[in-house]
């Protein structure tokens, strides 16, 4: 089946640090990738959608200068949390989708803790 | 935009009982409805999905029904087992390819007591 790899799985860093999270589709070409944020016991909040080679489309309320998304190839998207602060601490999950009627598949998520 | 409501937020059943989770959606153009299971600290995993041209789909103990007129769809789990305990999310979306943007429900925490 389709596999999406997300790294790192856990990050602890100091306030002010920038953190990069990678999302890779291992056995299919991901024409669209999604980045979500999930708070404990809550649903998946879509942050942005990106299509390969295009600029990401951000959801309302998500700062694009804060959360930089790069979808450079059909198998890789990155999310960089710039100058992270404690309120950015959360569980970030990516998902990838192939073309046509293919379903989206999720990565394992990254637990980000900012001290 | 699309709005997806999911109920109940928590569902507690005894092993062997059936469990039903219901979702409603607002956008009549939505045509794809996946269900995901998320165990604690893990990724959501697609367990079943249905498209708008089908009213019901079954996969062993799991079934999904769709009522397009009423704009609601449901997940049915029969003969529940403790390993079914997890959070289940429904989603609704329209379009394919680059226009596919799913909206998720708030999730249902299913607890199956042995």
**A33-88 pLDDT, tens digit each:** 999 999 887 888 999 998 887 889 999 999 999 999 998 888 999 999 999 999 99
Mean of the pLDDT values across residues B61-86? Answer: 97
**Could you say which residues from 67 to 106 on chain B have a Cβ atom under 8 Å away from some Cβ of chain A?**
89, 96-98, 100-106
Question: Which of A41, A46, A74 to probe the B interface (max B CBs under 10 A)?
Answer: A41
Confidence of residue A95 (pLDDT cuts 50, 70, 90): very high
The pLDDT score that the predictor gives to residue A53 is: 79
Q: Is the pLDDT of residue B85 over 80?
A: yes
Write down the pLDDT at residue B96: 61
The full DSSP string for chain A is ---EEEE-SEEEE-TT--EEEEEEESSS--SEEEEEEE-TT--EEEEEEEETTSPPEEPTT--TTTEEEEEEETTEEEEEETT--GGG-EEEEEEEE-STTPPEEE---EEEEE-
Q: Is the pLDDT of residue B98 over 60?
A: no
Nearest CA distance, B44 vs chain A (angstrom): 6
What residues of A are in contact with residue B109 (Cβ under 8 Å)? 41
Asked if the Cβ–Cβ distance from A99 to B36 is below 8 Å, we say: no
- Closest residue on chain B to A51 (Cα): B98
B68 band by pLDDT with thresholds 50, 70 and 90: very high
CB spacing of B100 vs A97 below 8 angstroms: yes
Query: For residue B42, which residues of chain A lie inside 8 Å, CB to CB?
Result: 108-109
Chain B residues with CB-CB distance to A108 below 8 A: 42-43
Indicate whether A15 pLDDT > 90. yes
């Amino acid at each position: 089946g389709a596999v999406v790899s997300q790294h790192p799985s856990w990050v602890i860093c100091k306030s002010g640090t920038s953190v990069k999270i990678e999302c890779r589709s291992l056995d299919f070409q991901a024409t669209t990738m999604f980045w979500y944020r999930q708070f404990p016991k809550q649903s998946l909040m879509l942050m942005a959608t990106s299509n390969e080679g295009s600029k990401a489309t951000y959801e309302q309320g998500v700062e694009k200068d804060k959360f930089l998304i790069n979808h450079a190839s059909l198998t890789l998207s990155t999310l960089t949390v710039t100058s992270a602060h404690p309120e950015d601490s959360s569980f970030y999950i990516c998902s990838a989708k192939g073309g046509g009627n293919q379903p989206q598949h999720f990565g394992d998520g990254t637990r980000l803790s900012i001290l | 935009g699309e709005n997806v409501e999911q109920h109940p937020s928590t569902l507690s059943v005894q092993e062997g009982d059936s469990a039903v989770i219901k979702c409603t959606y607002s956008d009549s153009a939505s045509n794809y409805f996946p269900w995901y299971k998320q165990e604690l600290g893990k990724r959501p995993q697609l367990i079943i999905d249905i498209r708008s041209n089908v009213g019901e789909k079954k996969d062993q103990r799991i079934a999904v029904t769709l009522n397009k007129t009423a704009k609601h769809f449901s997940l049915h789990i029969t003969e529940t087992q403790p390993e079914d305990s997890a959070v289940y999310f429904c989603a609704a979306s329209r379009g394919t390819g680059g226009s596919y943007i799913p909206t998720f429900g708030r999730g249902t925490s299913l607890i199956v007591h042995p």
